[in-house]
Amino acid sequence: MNIPFSFGKVVRDDDFTDRTKETEKLLDNIHSLTNTAIISPRRWGKSSLVAKVVTMVSEDKDYLIVRMNAFKCDDEQEFYASYARNIMEQISTSAESLINNAREFISTLLPKVSFSDPLSRYEISFGLDVVRNPISDDILDLPQRIASKRGKKVVVCIDEFQQIGEFSNTLKFQKILRNHWQEHTDVAYILYGSRKHMMLNIFGEYKSPFYKFGDIMFLPKISNGDWRIYIMDRFRESGKTIDSDVAEYLAQSVENHPYYVQQLAQLSWLRCEETCTKETVDGALSSLLDSLNLQFMNIMDSVTDKQKRYLCALADGVSKMTSSHVLSSYKLGTNGNVRIIRNALMKRDLIDVEGKSVQIQDPVFKLWIQRQYKYI
Ligand SMILES: Nc1ncnc2c1ncn2[C@@H]1O[C@H](COP(=O)(O)OP(=O)(O)OP(=O)(O)O)[C@@H](O)[C@H]1O
Ligand SMILES: [Mg+2]
């Protein structure tokens, strides 16, 4: 029997639930060629949402889709090479068409194009020429040139886009990207990434080149009601049952966090013979906490004592860190110290700050601190 529920990878088809509004919004943005940045804490479903939407769009022959992951790019040169490679490979349907496309679009730019295995797999690699500036400029305009020549619209999706924030002269690079991309009339850019704080720096800061580049979509969590239906359906389809209130309880236990709901649902499913009860969910949650013990201990080992105490205060539900009572009981020092602690934890995406509200980003990490972490 197939084990239901899926976590840790992009989910599709039956594993994908809800996101109706976000799907529509992203589709509208693509159809109106509005650029979109998608921002959320880790593992809330950005990559899965984009995968679903571009699969829908790819059925329309008027659109060409290009997807890239910037995660492995350490500098601009690697970005350009990977960008050009992904574009050429993904607009081609065979080795032959790749050769033709390369001839048509990049032969003057990159004379050293070579194919790793032209007859069976269509991969492309470049010589060092890519690093030269005029070439890089032309690479950035490739989607628009392809769109114009083919009479199509191009959708460019770049995952882990925050990686460009790590490049040594990132602001200059961001300006170059923005200058090119804003001229493209037949291309929609969808930019998303797992580091919320860095994505906000790129898209939300007034001084950033990408400020007001397009629509910023703050992806919400999936609602408890949607999770309830999804969990009950998956149990039923696989020959087991879970009551509606238990399904709700399961999702709530991990604050409706998409990745953890799927993981906890699978652990609960594996632990029950026929019917999943609240006790089953509690047992599964304890085993989940145990399995993450080492990882969470490592995080705690990597922060300062004051940061540890700040996290403990957050897990205890303290909302006003700067009150004198909290400052002294959690030994946080001064208001100024609290600001420094908060900024450091935010940079590491351990906490999420929205206006005055501060949350531990990972709901299971929060639970672990509440239940298992003893600060001495
Ligand atoms: N629409 C959805 N329906 C059901 N489960 C989902 C959905 N979206 C995400 N998930 C769950 O969350 C997990 C993480 O999803 P995904 O990788 O798309 O998130 P992400 O925001 O791109 O993560 P990261 O921040 O690490 O890049 C998936 O493996 C799946 O378990
Ligand atoms: Mg992702």
Residues paired with 86 in a beta bridge: none
pLDDT tens, residue by residue, 124-136: 666 655 555 556 7
Tokens of 62: 């008027």
What is the distance in A from the centroid of ligand 1 to the CA of 12? 10
Helix, strand or coil, per DSSP, at residue 41 = coil
Q: Nearest residue CA, atom 14 of ligand 1?
A: 43
C-beta 258 within 6 A of ligand 1: yes
| Residue 165 DSSP code | G
- Closest by Cα among 218, 163, 153 to 189: 153
- Closest by Cα among 102, 120, 122 to 111: 102
So what CATH class is 224-291? Answer: mainly alpha
Per-residue confidence (pLDDT) for residue 111, from 0 to 100:
47
Are 145 and 105 contacting, i.e. CB atoms less than 8 angstroms apart? yes
Tokens of 9: 């990878």
Are 245 and 232 contacting, i.e. CB atoms less than 8 angstroms apart? no
Are 75 and 168 contacting, i.e. CB atoms less than 8 angstroms apart? yes
C-beta 47 within 6 A of ligand 1: yes
Residue environment code for 202-217, b if the CB has 16+ CB neighbours within 10 A, otherwise e: bbeeeebbbeebbbbb
Q: Which ligand is nearest to the CA of 362?
A: 1
Number of the ligand 1 atom closest to the C-alpha atom of 5: 31
Positions of the chain with pLDDT lower than 50, given as ranges:
111
Number of the ligand 1 atom closest to the C-alpha atom of 160: 27
C-beta 307 within 6 A of ligand 1: no
Whole-angstrom Cα distance, residue 173 to residue 75? 10
What is the distance in A from the centroid of ligand 2 to the CA of 241? 31
Location of structure tokens 């599964």: 284
Pairing of strands 153-159, 121-125: unpaired
User: Which one-letter amino acid corresponds to residue 93?
Assistant: T
Tokens of 356: 């005055």
The domain made up of 305-371 has a fold known as Arc Repressor Mutant, subunit A (1.10.10)
The CATH code belonging to domain 19-218 is: 3.40.50.300
Q: Nearest residue CA, atom 27 of ligand 1?
A: 194
C-beta 31 within 6 A of ligand 1: no
Location of structure tokens 């009950």: 232
Per-residue confidence (pLDDT) for residue 52, from 0 to 100:
96
Q: Which ligand is nearest to the CA of 198?
A: 1
Per-residue confidence (pLDDT) for residue 374, from 0 to 100:
77
What is the distance in A from the centroid of ligand 2 to the CA of 218? 14
Question: Near ion ligand 2, which residues have CB within 5 Å?
Answer: 47
User: What are the structural domain ranges in the chain?
Assistant: 19-218, 224-291, 305-371
Query: CA angle 315-318-321, nearest 5°?
Result: 115
C-beta 4 within 6 A of ligand 1: no
C-beta 7 within 6 A of ligand 1: yes
From the centroid of its chain, how far is CA 203?
Answer: 15
What is the distance in A from the centroid of ligand 2 to the CA of 114? 31
Which H/E stretch holds residue 168?
none
Per-residue confidence (pLDDT) for residue 96, from 0 to 100:
80
CA distances from 39 to 9, 43, 138 (A): 18, 11, 29
Best probe residue, ligand 1, of 5, 13, 44 (max atoms within 8 Å of C-beta)? 44
Are 182 and 212 contacting, i.e. CB atoms less than 8 angstroms apart? no
Helix, strand or coil, per DSSP, at residue 358 = strand
Per-residue confidence (pLDDT) for residue 132, from 0 to 100:
56
Residues paired with 63 in a beta bridge: 153
Q: Which ligand is nearest to the CA of 231?
A: 1
Per-residue confidence (pLDDT) for residue 94, from 0 to 100:
81
Best probe residue, ligand 1, of 13, 71, 256, 259 (max atoms within 8 Å of C-beta)? 259
Q: Which ligand is nearest to the CA of 258?
A: 1
C-beta 10 within 6 A of ligand 1: yes
What is the distance in A from the centroid of ligand 2 to the CA of 360? 19
Q: Which ligand is nearest to the CA of 196?
A: 1
| Residue 220 DSSP code | P
